[in-house]
Chains A and B, each alone.
Chain A
């Protein structure tokens, strides 16, 4: 199992669909993707984590890094996740207060606050 990444745009939002395992080995690929998007001017990101089987603190660090990058451009980074085992990691680390977490891509795209 490796990491899969695909992107698409919906209006002014860029959806990053992530699949597989995000860990110390694969997280750099996700970071490269987020950095590339921000460098190309995509500042409103929705990271769809429904296909993620495993996430660790390295992956969390990359998401936090992505959030900092978009915020530097007054952008946003929203997460889509319904998996309890993934949500638990965000809760343990207090990151549920940092990331807007949505139950669907449609909801994340529609969110404006």
Chain B
């Protein structure tokens, strides 16, 4: 199971709590101090997007954040339970999965099956629909994977915990 799991009601005021918890667990897992700001921002964006999806779809269930400490990396999964109809394939199958164990390059592989919908960097309105949040995540995190189907979506991100030693 995850090192730490967090379930929170899909309300904006709880996103900060998720950021604080994620950053604390990441620090303890050995994520470099210089990267913690990125972890904090990325998990905040992912949670903000999930909260927005739950609220706009009238989903009552909580947003789930899994913080997973492995030997050499620290992973975060943010899961929503909002339906993503555009990701469903004929017959209700899941969207295509990237080959090679799931690790994908962020750029161009974001939103599998929906590449034409990669967001413009500038939001059209004050109220974003989470697409600028995805753009921020893909710009920040090297190892990120976004998947979704009619039952919900997951954003998976990871960071190394054993940075290469810097020689003088």
Contacts and interface: CB of A to CB of B under 8 A. Distances in A.
Interface in A29-85: 31, 54, 56-58, 60-62, 64-65, 85
Interface residues of A, number: 22
B44 interface: yes
Counting contact residues on chain B (CB < 8 A from A), the size range is 20 to 34
A57 B132 contact: yes
Contacts of A54: 19, 40-41, 44
Given A92-B135, A94-B121, A95-B121, A56 B44 contact: yes
A61 B132 contact: yes
Contacts, number: 73
Q: Is the interface of B mostly helix, strand, loop or mixed?
A: helix
A49 to B, nearest CB: 15
A98 interface: yes
Contact of B136 (A21, A25, A92): A92
Given A25-B12, A57-B45, A58-B128, A64 B123 contact: yes
B121 A56 contact: no
Interface string B107-142: 000000000000001110111100011011001100
Contact of B44 (A23, A62, A98): A23
14 contacts: A1-B16, A23-B19, A24-B48, A25-B15, A54-B41, A54-B44, A56-B45, A57-B123, A57-B135, A61-B127, A92-B140, A93-B135, A93-B136, A94-B122
Given A57-B135, A98-B122, 15 more contacts: A54-B41, A56-B133, A57-B48, A57-B123, A58-B128, A61-B132, A64-B123, A64-B126, A65-B126, A89-B41, A92-B140, A93-B132, A93-B139, A94-B122, A95-B121
Interface of B: 12-13, 15-16, 19, 37, 40-41, 44-45, 48, 51-52, 121-123, 125-128, 132-133, 135-136, 139-140
Interface of A: 1, 21, 23-25, 31, 54, 56-58, 60-62, 64-65, 85, 89, 92-95, 98
